[in-house]
A and B are shown apart, each in its own frame.
Chain A
Amino acid sequence: MGNTTSLAAKLAEGTRLSLKEAQGLWDLDLLTLGQEADLARRRLNPENRVTYVVDRNINYTNICTSGCRFCAYFREPGSPEGFVLNEIELAQKLDELKAHGGSGVLLQGGLNPDLSFTYYVDLVRQIKDSGLGVHGFSPSEIAFMSRRFELPLTDVLARLIEAGLSSIPGGGAEILADRVRGQISPRKCNSGEWLEVMAAAHEMGLKTSATMMFGHLETRAERVEHLFKIRDLQDRTGGFISFIPWTFQPGGTVLGGEPLGAVEYLRILAVSRLVLDNVPHLQVSWVTQGPKIAQVALKFGADDFGSTMLEENVVAATGVGFRLSREEIETLVRRAGYEPRVRDHRYNLL
């Protein structure tokens, strides 16, 4: 009782939680926890608004040497189902986005050994030249380029920034605990490398998001460890602008199993809001949770509805197919009692 009382006092004051206190959040009932996260959200984002970005996902290749066991999207090099996006296809996708009034592209792809560095630079430049922002390349892709082209991380980043890269998505973090990574994605960058790319990007002035994919082999302690690694780096660099937790979708993956449900998703969302006191925004994952739980998530600490995506291929490959239009996002936000506002990938209101 003494511990929960002091936790209650700390939550009420909004002071920083220790590792032990963060783990103690699981002892709270779901709604008490959610309410504390909502109060923390109002301290950090007092405006009664929920932001979202009009963008599209573009996956430039599905060929990937990483072979992660949680992924249903990738194809091995040489697979007849592999593809690499060319300039003409990219131009069509950019035109579609502009017709929708989009502001930027979420650009991500596999670790494809057949691409040249020029390919990546040209991708970024073509998007930038079309007048759209480039939110591109998760740390695993940046680390891959650095190794593959024998360039220091800062050189890779500098050349991509010069071509027009404006922010980096937080994908590929999965769980930042190497015991788990060794089992689910042994060929992907380890947690230290992931954080190193983010630190380098932040120091070069890029804003980035961070993600967490949970509900597979990780323990509760490892989820908390993940959050603390993000919080510690953020104390040093201040470059994380948002955090996006989402649940592993087992359909079509080697790992398999049953997906986590809504209650644990909302619990993690709330815990994230309370632990990550230095990350400004928390994003719902409607693509994995569906519109109803995404709407409820706005009461569990989230202040951002993510993006319109236009196309989403990676989660869709697991058979989970939620889709929302811009109008649907706005309606969900309004009916939850908030004002919907369009932002760009750097969270500037438009």
Chain B
Amino acid sequence: MSTHGSIVRIGAKMLIPYIMLLALYVQFHGDYGPGGGFQAGVIFAAAFILYALTHGLKATKQVISPSIAEKLICLGVLLYAGVGIASMAMGGNFLEYGVFDHHDPSHGQHTGLLLIELGVGITVFAVMLTIFYNFAGRGRS
């Protein structure tokens, strides 16, 4: 993998920050424009996969190790379900975001949506990366 020319590697390095920025934009702008947690997670994972394709699997595993990625998978689902539990603790139904803001339920909706989209994004990002690690880790060699 490290036999690629420097043009590919430098080109990827220039692209990766913008791919990550786009992912964060899609993640936190999902209320207003197209996108959301799922797409953002996939795009964020694509940045890491591009890094792995150009700089090698070993370098990518140093940036984010497989065990951390596996923990992030659980963290996202827990965050999503935790928002539901929190809304129950505050007196609403499961995943009823309106209770997060007593003055204006629509603000509570925004808070809830932001958090659950973050949970979806973290899980999808970590799942894509974990699947990639598992496939790439067993080459024919």
Question: A and B: real partners?
Answer: no
Interface of A toward B, CB cutoff 8 Å = none
Interface of B toward A, CB cutoff 8 Å = none
